[in-house]
Amino acid sequence: MRCKIQMLLIYCIASEVSMAKQLDSRRNFPQGLYSVEDRGSAKWNRIKRSPYQGSSCRIRGCCTGRDDDCSFTIVSRGAICYCDQYCTSGSPGPVDCCADYWDVCNHPVEPTRSEEPWPPPAWGCYKDGRYYGEGTIIKDNCNSCKCFNSLWECSTDVCLVRQDLIQHINSGDYGWKADNYSQFWGMTVEEGFKKRLGTFPPSHSLLNMREAPGKSLPEEKFPAIFSATYEWPEWIHDPLDQRNCGASWAFSTASVAADRIAIHSKGQVTDNLSAQNLISCDTRNQHGCNGGSIDGAWRYLRTHGVVSYACYPSFWNKHLGPSAENRCYVSSEHGKNYTNGPCPNAFEKSNRLYRCASHYRVSSKETDIMKEIMDRGPVQAIMKVYEDFFLYKEGIYRHSQKAGSKWKTHSVKLLGWGALRDKNGQKQKFWIAANSWGKSWGENGYFRILRGQNECDIEKLILATLGQP
């Protein structure tokens, strides 16, 4: 009997240790996310945990930013809690914050830690309750700090994620909410502009392009809310993620073209189109992940065509090395409907090429854009992006003056509109748009932006195609 009890105790201890190791292995994933297997496919879900009692932060110390290494394993609860600045989004804060975070890390006096040398050495620096030796270099968001003569010397770059800007927007009356995105943490504003946008300012020829005559209707003739995803279900393609590849010029063009081809063919062709095909193969005056023009992308689609997303998926070739994105893995000849070789993705057999008709410019008048979307499908828009746009979480976006005046051009897909009353009872009109920063950004990859006021030049240049040639 005693032997059986001992075996049972050993089994329980082994189970808790195994659970802790599994939880520790999740620390390499983005904030609050982990991968689970669901019927053979990996899906992302948010971890939901309850606050735990204890002195986790007092023992572990406090970290800046969203630091996946700054965690504390609670084996008895089968969970991990955090002691980092992400918890400052509001007490009691995210469900995975350690219970004593606010007492320890937000205390005006820097806490000591059990493993710190005592008495404190004559040389060294403290930061967020942690001791660092002389000469230590650490990363503080997008800046580097070095401990020199017991003082921190830090670079002064403007970071893409700024807690003060998030708090300013969320406490103001802007009509939208901001959030801290882990994929942008550690990036400067300039890096964000370079890696997450990538559409060149429109050329003179594009700006001088004659607008197609609009079939304008009074605004009251339109439905109050319209979305292409409901009008043409299963024909409108979801937002993709361009990651740190400055190629919104390719993603927005491919997405609008795919939607228009599906609508024009009445659902006979519903494949999403490969933005990677454009990035790697459309090289005439284009610069891949370092930027490109949307008019050049439309010309390539008309003359050469691109394969499906399944045939040439985005960043499929990342395992081939950094030079892979600069090599085109499909080749085609003028007039042919199939590539000269198989798909880069060996699991996809169809190497069919998709072409579209010439692009045209839609009238910048609000109701003309609405009429175009309602009759023929989503359109492409170029917009100015300021640093606060990266922090958009939900609501009707408009530029905050606190975000500064620096901007770069970006291209997105407009697919609908709507209107809501604000807290003062005023009618706020908006466009529904799809970005290319993945579904974890914004409203499941989409965003709303003020309509009828040319907010961020969103209505200045609108392009579309009739679909297949």
Catalytic residues: 410, 435
Distance between CA atoms of residues 430 and 448, nearest Å: 6
Own/partner pairs, 439-447, CB within 8 angstroms, 24+ separation: 439/238, 439/239, 439/241, 440/30, 440/33, 440/44, 440/181, 440/183, 441/181, 441/183, 441/392, 442/392, 442/393, 442/394, 443/393, 443/394, 444/239, 445/238, 445/239, 446/239, 447/392, 447/397
On the question of a cis peptide bond just before residue 201, with omega within 30 degrees of 0, the verdict is no
11: which DSSP letter?
H
**DSSP character string of 276-305:** HHHHHH--SS--TTB-B-HHHHHHHHHHT-
Nearest-10 Cα torsion for 384, 389, 395, 400 = -80
Largest CA distance in the chain: 90
Q: How many CB atoms lie within 10 A of CB 412?
A: 28
**DSSP character string of 78-100:** TEEEE-BGGGGGSTT-STTB-TT
**DSSP character string of 185-216:** TT-BHHHHHHHH--BPPPPHHHHTSPBPPP--
Distance between CA atoms of residues 292 and 127, nearest Å: 42
Q: Which residue has the tokens 């969970």?
A: 79
Give all strands (DSSP E) within 118-267, no chain letters: 125-127, 130-132, 137-140, 143-148, 151-154, 176-178, 226-227
CA angle 94, 96, 101 (to 5 degrees): 80
